Structure 1
Amino acid sequence: MINVILVDDQKIVREGIKMILSLDDEIKVVNEAENGKELVEFLKTNEYPDVILMDVRMPIMDGVQATKIVKENFKNIKVIILTTFNEDEYIFDGIKNGADGYILKDAGSEEIIKAIKTAYSGNILLNPEVATKIVRAYTAISSGKQTSSLLNEEKKKLEILTKRELEVAKLVAQGKSNKEICLELFITEGTVKNYLTKIFEKLELASRTELALLINQTNI
């Protein structure tokens, strides 16, 4: 059973997601919270969930700050950000704070369930549409700041990857899971995990989301 906590200040949103998740007998919503502070207090005194679905814009403590606290203290908990992508200022802070991925609030039931199961297995599902929107938002935010020299620096980082590591990185940027990558490259899933470990170490990245952002940003 995959235990999930929903964190959103809008009750109607929580109820809608709960209804969706109740359709799957492998997922159980163990608690809800209206803001990040409420979530953090719950985690101090209760059993940890496997996955947290976290809204970003909330009163008292927003999802970005809450994600930072969760990732610093409960590294095994997967955090999936719920976003409308009208919240650009939160998106990249969320990535830096260790968010494992993003789901659009209007995503279909199958996509939400699949994302939770994929995150639980350690392979966050980064939908290509989400990846594209993240890159577009980044471009808008960094307009006037992203010089050609900085872009060249980002591209240079990728030169330390082997040809196969770069292939794996590109597939991650396309939203592929580890299982999909191993089928496409005709290698084992364990080998994919080993490649990702090396890629993260070489590029000093913490998540698939950061890797996807880097690959899409450089347009290699």
Structure 2
Amino acid sequence: MKIKVSIVDDNSFLIHAIKEKLLFFDDIEIKHTALNGSELLTKLEENHNLDIILMDIEMPVLNGVETTQMVKQKYPQIKIIMLTAFDNDEHIFNAIKAGADGYLLKEISPEELYKGIKETLNGGAAMNPSIALKTLKLLRNPIDIDNLKDKEEISLTKREVEVLEQLSKGLSYTAIAKNLFLSPSTVRKHIENSYKKLQVHSKIEAVQKAKRHNII
């Protein structure tokens, strides 16, 4: 019995590269390829006799995470392995939440890719080691998951972080100014900017939020 595979990637060169890797194995048959999630869904409507989909994450029209969710709702029997160039924490978590059965990096060797496909079809989960490690970390620190989105939006300057660190020790504006060789009005400006970026209104809130996001 041949393993029927579909490859979804917005880069046709990468589709070709994955095809080349799978050509080594006689029991793999590439049913179809698609350049985005929307194209894949159309092809599945015509023929969903598939065993496994190798899915890119960052694609136009319909990305890999959204597509995975839709495919899993409609065709839960089809296994999906995310094939991505990045082991980005938020992607990993969202893909797993959407129902992905495995998560591998694109630069994988043909043997490892084949092993991952077989493993997933046998009820396992194909996972690149660095991704497995990140997934464990995410599970150990669920609070990080809630903060991933916020963390990306909070970018304080080195100075603002230094001022916040001093503030967290309970120091006054004047003491902070002295320690950092700044004027008290500059310290006040840095603190105002930090409040704005952190979306808080008090010293306590600012310090708590910065700690929660590992900023200080």
Same fold, TM-score > 0.5, yes or no: yes
Q: CA deviation at 1:139?
A: 7.9
Counterparts of 1:119-130 in structure 2, within 5 Å, are 119-130=120-131
Which residue number in structure 1 is paired with residue 96 of structure 2?
A: 95
Q: Does structure 1 conserve the Cα–Cα contact (< 8 Å) formed by 2:81 and 2:101? A: yes
Counterparts of 1:146-185 in structure 2, within 5 Å, are none
Distance 1:141 1:83, change over 3 A: farther
Q: Percent identity?
A: 40
Q: CA deviation at 1:127?
A: 3.9
**Aligned AA for 1:43?**
L
CA distance in 2, matches of 1:129, 1:76: 27
Q: CA deviation at 1:115?
A: 0.6
Distance 1:28 1:141, change over 3 A: same
Q: CA RMSD in A?
A: 2.3
Distance 1:144 1:16, change over 3 A: closer
SS at match of 1:82: strand
> Relative contact order (C-alpha < 8 Å, sep 6+): which is higher?
1
Q: Does structure 2 conserve the Cα–Cα contact (< 8 Å) formed by 1:67 and 1:94? A: yes
Unaligned runs of 5+ in 1: 147-220
Q: Does structure 1 conserve the Cα–Cα contact (< 8 Å) formed by 2:138 and 2:144? A: no
Q: Who wins on radius of gyration, i.e. which is larger?
A: 2
CA distance in 1, matches of 2:146, 2:60: 30
Counterparts of 1:5-154 in structure 2, within 5 Å, are 5-85=6-86, 87-136=88-137, 142-143=143-144
CA distance in 2, matches of 1:5, 1:54: 8
Unaligned runs of 5+ in 2: 148-216
* TM-score, normalization by structure 1: 0.60
Q: CA deviation at 1:111?
A: 0.5
CA distance in 1, matches of 2:71, 2:64: 10
Distance 1:83 1:137, change over 3 A: farther
How many residues end up aligned between the 2 structures? Answer: 146
Q: Does structure 1 conserve the Cα–Cα contact (< 8 Å) formed by 2:87 and 2:130? A: no
Q: CA deviation at 1:137?
A: 6.6
CA distance in 2, matches of 1:141, 1:71: 24
* TM-score, normalization by structure 2: 0.61
